[in-house]
Structure 1
Amino acid sequence: MDRIDHCGGIRWHWTTPRAQDILRRRALPEILQLYRELHGLPQQELADLLGYSTSYVSRIETGSRTITDIGALRHLADRLDLPPHCLGITDDVDGDHRLVIQLADSVLRLAEIARQSGQATTAVAELWPLVARLEARAADGHADLDALRLLARARVGLGVALGHVLPEERMAAAAGWTGKGLSVARRLDDPALHAHALRHHGNELRKSGLHLRALDRLGQARDTARTATERAEAVVLLARAAGAAGNAAVFDEAVEDGRRLLEETAPTALFSEFTLHEVRLRGLMSTGRVAEAVRQLDQAPTAGLGATSQWRIIAAITAGEVLLRRGDTAGATRQLTTAVDGATLHRLPHQLQRIVRACRSLPAVRDRADDALAQLRADIAA
């Protein structure tokens, strides 16, 4: 890797632990020395960059010359691609950015609540402005670690929300955003954030049909998990991706791992007995074990209060598919009609497309899903 990486507009050399310690102390001599070290510059070239004499730069680096003038400090911040506050300057632009950082965590949490309650379009509307602001700041080279962590979380959150509201043919956009979040998260010293980004990027890759890449990301998420909860949330998505890929061996291993983890972790919106059962049913169908899926259908646990609207709709579609294979047309019609109503209410085109594929033998349900999907597509186009 190059010592200086401007990937995505981010000056990564200011994000290392050593650099962050120097910036926190606003130690200008060390800032100049680190900048020269990272860029391989002699004092003369740094002096040329700053518009100072070599002797003047030498005096700053040795501490025999201090700079307190706001104009001079602002000039240094600009030439070194540093946020002004790192040199003790507070201006309207930087102050506004710091306010955004303070509020961003609340925006992310509210967007997550909206998405899990079935209002993914609201989550997208909340996250777009935040992502745009953080992207612009990063493009200016003024991104500290807190802002980069928020940028990674916001990119991933936006991708996941888009994965709810976009139809299958546009799902690559959702995977693109989670991938952008992962590209930042992997560079930061934050294992939990990295695992979070791996899980969600892997899941969006699965929805885009990129099964091998999805299995790779989700396998990494499982293998690098630091807690039982992190592993459980990776495992349920890994099982889902393995089933979609028709990889029975990885699917069975992940399901068995998930069943063990049910005893070690508290349920989450992503991992619970309910979600693991749905993933198992769908994977059994995808890997050719229809008879086993039919037998397992009647053992479905109750959804519980923690189950999100999306998971309830997904489970209803899966149950409808299994009931059709069992020959229970009436039961399948009830489940799939309920799923159409839920997917329409919560504006989930991807789930409507899945219903359309499942309902080839149920023309009334298929037509209802087709009509709802057409309306959602028209709304998206508008």
Structure 2
Amino acid sequence: MIGSYAAELVCPTCAASNGTTAPAVRAASITSAVWLWASPEAATALATRDLPTILRTYRRINGLNQIALAELLGYDSSYVSMIETGKRAITDVTSRRHIAARIGLPAHVLGVTGIDDAEYRAMLQFGDSTVRLAEIARQSGHAVEAVNELWPLVARLEARAAEGHMERDSLILLAQARTALGVSLGTVLPEERLWAAARWTGQAVTVAAHLGEPVFHAHTLRMHGNELRKSGQPGAAVARLEQSLELSADPADRGGSLAFLCRAAGELGDADTFDNALSAYRNLLDRHLGSGLLFQPFTLREIEIRGLMGTGRIGQASRRVSEPAGTPAAPQWHTIERVTTGEVLAAIGEIDTAATAFAEAVQSAELHHLPHQIQRAIRATGKSGMRESTVECFAALERLQSQLSQRR
């Protein structure tokens, strides 16, 4: 189910999974005119819905005089002066639409509502709920459904962005939707297509950087850093995650940034960065009650095991594997932990136990549509000479890819 706003009847999960077709909606490079309305000063002016205030603010931010604004609008400068001073009220729909188009605003900001504008306003009102519900779906193991919920919203917002008609609230929603879509795609896409997920989260960072809200900027950097890591760019991931950590103050947010930083540093083989981030994560968790998917004991254990493996400390990783795992916060984390455990057990020669862990991981990955976790298992079993397990993994991956292709 793609929705009425998608540019083509192809969902991004299917398109990216089949290995041939690019996602149907491309993230727009926001035009410079749009950033004007993202500033706090502009947002304050727009909140008044007062045309004279909006025009004066537009001139001030752009360094224009009334003559230059009049040329932009196609009016006489004396006419613009009367509008700004309130001596001439613009009430007709045609003129307000014209002004909105010339200064890069959605028409509804100036009180003009056609069918398209009314639909767009309704979408904005419910857009935040759409993103939140999609996140709940992803975290509960239904990432494909999350993508299908987000795709129509993103398609409509991208179309507006391409037109250059976006105000601050729309830009915030665009960044939220881009982030959520990227993370959801990063859950369900195969490894060779994870660049698509990183691309969406990267576009969200671009928007968030202009909004001047450190908490939100840190969130987008955190998610983008993790998608960069998953797409095979751990060095770039470390840089983004360190930025996120600098901007994060809330314990859960810092814990999330540290968790991903541990992952990226481990995959980079950077033992010092990994150890420092892990120590900070553990100390933070000791002082604050864990919450969410990333900031909790189960996640700490899995991240530590994988990082120890990545930095060549197999003995320490095996001792950690023998400790109780606890309860994961989401189904995908059970899958991730089982693959990691299988890798360690295979590395220390406990092949039968490793085979059981991989079988559990693959069963869970197939159930929750996690192809890149199956691909992790394929690499690990192949490296360890576990031929029977590798064959089972390939069979599961083929079944999952077939299921995803049938959703088109």
- Which residue number corresponds to residue 154 of structure 1? 177
- Which residue number corresponds to residue 348 of structure 2? 326
- Which residue number corresponds to residue 315 of structure 2? 291
Shift of 1:379: 4.7
Distance 1:194 1:54 in 2: 40
1:358 aligns with 2:370: no
Shift of 1:267: 2.6
Distance 1:44 1:321 in 2: 70
Which amino acid counterpart does residue 37 of structure 1 have in structure 2? R
- Which residue number corresponds to residue 257 of structure 2? 234
Distance 1:193 1:62 in 2: 37
Deviating above 6 A after TM superposition, structure 1's stretches of 4 or more consecutive aligned residues are none
Q: Give runs of aligned pairs for residues 188-199 of structure 1, distance below 5 A.
A: 188-199=211-222
1:160 alignment partner, SS class = helix
Relative to structure 1, is the Cα distance of residues 300 and 240 closer, same or farther in structure 2, using a 3 angstrom cutoff? Answer: farther
In structure 2, which of residues 269, 272, 280 is the aligned counterpart of residue 246 of structure 1?
269
Contact map agreement 1:239 1:283 (CA 8 A) in 2: yes
Contact map agreement 1:340 1:355 (CA 8 A) in 2: yes
- Which residue number corresponds to residue 297 of structure 2? 273
Distance 2:53 2:292 in 1: 46
1:374 alignment partner, SS class = helix
**TM norm structure 2:** 0.87
Distance 1:106 1:56 in 2: 43
- Which residue number corresponds to residue 326 of structure 2? 302
1:77 aligns with 2:100: yes
Which amino acid counterpart does residue 202 of structure 2 have in structure 1? G
Q: Give runs of aligned pairs for residues 127-166 of structure 1, distance below 5 A.
A: 127-166=150-189
Root-mean-square deviation over aligned CA pairs: 1.8
- Which residue number corresponds to residue 46 of structure 2? 23
More deviation in 243-252 or 295-304?
295-304
What are structure 1's unaligned runs of at least 5 residues?
Answer: 1-5
Shift of 1:378: 4.4
Distance 1:17 1:38 in 2: 11
Relative to structure 1, is the Cα distance of residues 62 and 256 closer, same or farther in structure 2, using a 3 angstrom cutoff? Answer: same
- Which residue number corresponds to residue 169 of structure 1? 192
Task: Choose between structure 1 and 2 for higher RCO, CA contacts under 8 A separated by at least 6 residues.
Answer: 2
The sequence identity of aligned pairs, in percent, is 48
Distance 1:101 1:88 in 2: 15
Shift of 1:37: 3.4
2:175 alignment partner, SS class = helix
2:232 alignment partner, SS class = coil
Counting matched residue pairs gives: 375
2:112 alignment partner, SS class = coil
Distance 1:268 1:21 in 2: 33
More deviation in 97-106 or 26-35?
26-35
Distance 1:116 1:36 in 2: 45
Shift of 1:24: 1.6
1:201 aligns with 2:196: no
2:56 alignment partner, SS class = helix
1:94 aligns with 2:110: no
Which amino acid counterpart does residue 367 of structure 1 have in structure 2? V
Distance 2:330 2:75 in 1: 60
Q: Give runs of aligned pairs for residues 102-117 of structure 1, distance below 5 A.
A: 102-117=125-140
Distance 1:7 1:356 in 2: 37
Q: Deviations over 1:281-338 (max 9, x none)?
A: 011011011111112211233125xx21111011011111111223222211111111
What are structure 2's unaligned runs of at least 5 residues?
Answer: 1-27
- Which residue number corresponds to residue 246 of structure 2? 223
More deviation in 78-87 or 312-321?
78-87
More deviation in 202-211 or 76-85?
76-85
Distance 2:178 2:30 in 1: 13
Shift of 1:259: 0.7
Contact map agreement 1:324 1:332 (CA 8 A) in 2: yes
More deviation in 45-54 or 335-344?
45-54
- Which residue number corresponds to residue 3 of structure 1? none
- Which residue number corresponds to residue 55 of structure 1? 78
2:194 alignment partner, SS class = helix
1:312 aligns with 2:334: yes
Distance 1:43 1:325 in 2: 73
Distance 1:315 1:34 in 2: 53
2:295 alignment partner, SS class = coil
Distance 1:300 1:198 in 2: 32
Contact map agreement 2:34 2:167 (CA 8 A) in 1: no
Q: Deviations over 1:32-81 (max 9, x none)?
A: 23333344434333222222212212222233322223322222112222
Q: Deviations over 1:73-130 (max 9, x none)?
A: 2221122222222222233222211111111122112211211121111111111111
Contact map agreement 2:134 2:150 (CA 8 A) in 1: yes
